């Protein structure tokens, strides 16, 4: 307003000079144009990436009560299986975006839809029979249906062409697989799946099913997809509590991860070759975790075996509740609860997603993706 009043009082020559100087400053980057909106971000998967969808469902797979969220900015439980921020929150932070809202949140309307959405649901896996004990969870097929529904909502807001562009240019995170072992194959002795398949054959089967999911995601418009492998399943406090004598990782679950992860990378590379583009990016969650599991002190943790919140050996039995043992300083514990990393451990994981070498990210890290996509 003041600028408009000033422009009315100056001569034509001065006005021309003013415009030329302003254009020069703009060219030099001293006066910034309005920032472009951050790319949309979509999240699919299980409890490692759920931002609170299960809060809206009748299920036991929920993190909606204290002490979950004890270090979150609001100091309240949000449905994240963390003491604070989880991996999607930290990726949003890195790409300059707002955190994605859960798809089931009533707040996800209007312009907030353009930020993206989190479709993840704790307890799910690649297979529909994974997590059946949690009853009412959003299985991956339903998450993809919701993604299609989301696009219809956005089309009504900005039109189909702009919606397609938003989805094509978006970043997508997919985190699946761990529950297909922990909450399916190894859930109980002689489980239905373990009687149906020997472990190597089961891995081949779930990789083939995972491929179908990723092809469906591609058909729905996803063009940059971070796919995380499983972490060291046998090293989490819940498994140590059940299977470890002296703190060693559970052998069978480690074997499962060792079979699954290389085959996942091979499958992703094959898909990329077929598509003629680096659509799917493999994030080696196993190596990212093993760095601080095998040498916690080097990363500022006092332990990578005992959970901050829990009970029993390694605080690995049952759920994290108000009655659980609770550590006073979450930053020095690698695991928050019997299954999930602390916020600080999540930050280390996201740091490797952003800048990690080919040991962690294949064929490139997220910083490289952002740089490449900014040139398009």
Cα→Cα distances 251→180, 205, 247, 316, Å: 17, 21, 12, 17
At residue 228, the 3 state secondary structure works out as strand
Q: CA 330, 77, 120, 335: dihedral to nearest 10 degrees? A: 20
- From first CA to last CA, the distance across the chain in angstroms is 36
Quick one: angle between helices 251-275 and 199-219, nearest 10?
Answer: 40
| 50 classed as catalytic | no
Secondary structure letter of residue 32 according to DSSP: P
9: left (phi over 0), alpha (psi -120 to 50) or beta: alpha
Q: How far apart are CA 35 and CA 313, in angstroms?
A: 51
**140 token code pair:** 């991956």
Q: CA 121, 125, 128, 130: dihedral to nearest 10 degrees? A: -100
Q: Which of 47, 82, 92, 324 is catalytic?
A: 47
Q: Is 133 exposed, middle or buried (0-12, 13-18, 19+ CB in 10 A)?
A: middle
Q: How far apart are CA 177 and CA 231, in angstroms?
A: 9
Q: Which of 92, 278, 304, 340 is catalytic?
A: 340
| 46 classed as catalytic | no
Q: Which of 89, 92, 337, 342 is catalytic?
A: 337
Phi, psi of 314 (to 5 degrees): 60, 15
What is the Cα 370 distance to its own chain's centre?
17
Residues 6+ apart with CB under 8 A from 22: 31
| 289 classed as catalytic | no
48 with 178: CB under 8 angstroms?
yes
Give the count of alpha carbons within 13 A of 124, CB side only.
25
DSSP labels for 295-335? Answer: -GGGGT-SBSSS-SEEBSGGG-BS---TTSEE-S-GGGBSB
- Catalytic residue positions, numbered: 47, 337, 340
């Amino acid at each position: 307003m003041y600028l408009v009043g000033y422009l009315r009082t100056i001569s034509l020559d001065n006005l021309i000079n003013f415009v030329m100087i302003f254009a020069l400053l703009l060219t030099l980057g001293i006066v910034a144009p309005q920032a472009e909106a951050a790319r949309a971000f979509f999240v699919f998967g299980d409890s490692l990436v759920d931002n609170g969808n299960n809060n809206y469902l009748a299920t036991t797979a929920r993190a909606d009560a204290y002490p979950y969220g004890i270090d979150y900015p609001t100091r309240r439980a949000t449905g994240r299986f963390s003491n604070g921020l989880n991996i999607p929150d930290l990726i949003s932070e890195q790409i300059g975006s707002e955190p994605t809202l859960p798809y089931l949140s009533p707040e996800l309307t209007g312009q907030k839809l353009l930020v993206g959405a989190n479709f993840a649901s704790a307890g799910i896996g690649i297979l529909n029979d994974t997590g059946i004990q949690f009853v009412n969870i959003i299985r991956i097929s339903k998450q993809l249906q919701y993604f299609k529904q989301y696009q219809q909502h956005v089309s009504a807001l900005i039109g189909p062409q702009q919606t397609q562009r938003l989805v094509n240019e978006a970043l997508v995170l997919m985190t699946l697989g761990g529950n297909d072992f922990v909450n399916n194959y190894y859930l109980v002795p002689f489980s239905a799946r373990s009687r149906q398949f020997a472990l190597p054959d089961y891995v081949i089967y779930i990789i083939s099913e995972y491929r179908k999911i990723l092809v469906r995601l591609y058909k729905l418009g996803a063009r940059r997809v971070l796919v995380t492998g499983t972490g060291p399943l046998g090293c989490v406090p819940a498994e140590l509590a059940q299977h470890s004598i002296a703190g060693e990782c559970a052998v069978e679950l480690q074997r499962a991860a060792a079979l699954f992860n290389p085959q996942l990378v091979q499958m992703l590379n094959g898909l990329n070759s077929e598509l003629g583009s680096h659509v799917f990016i493999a994030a080696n969650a196993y190596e990212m975790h093993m760095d601080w599991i095998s040498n916690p002190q080097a990363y500022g943790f006092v332990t990578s075996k005992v959970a901050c919140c829990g009970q029993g050996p390694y605080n690995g039995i049952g759920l994290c509740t108000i009655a659980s043992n609770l550590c006073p300083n979450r930053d020095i514990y690698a695991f928050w609860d019997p299954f999930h990393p602390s916020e600080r451990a999540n930050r280390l994981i996201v740091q490797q997603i952003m800048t990690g070498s080919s040991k962690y990210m294949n064929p490139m890290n997220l910083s490289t993706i952002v740089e490449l996509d900014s040139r398009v």
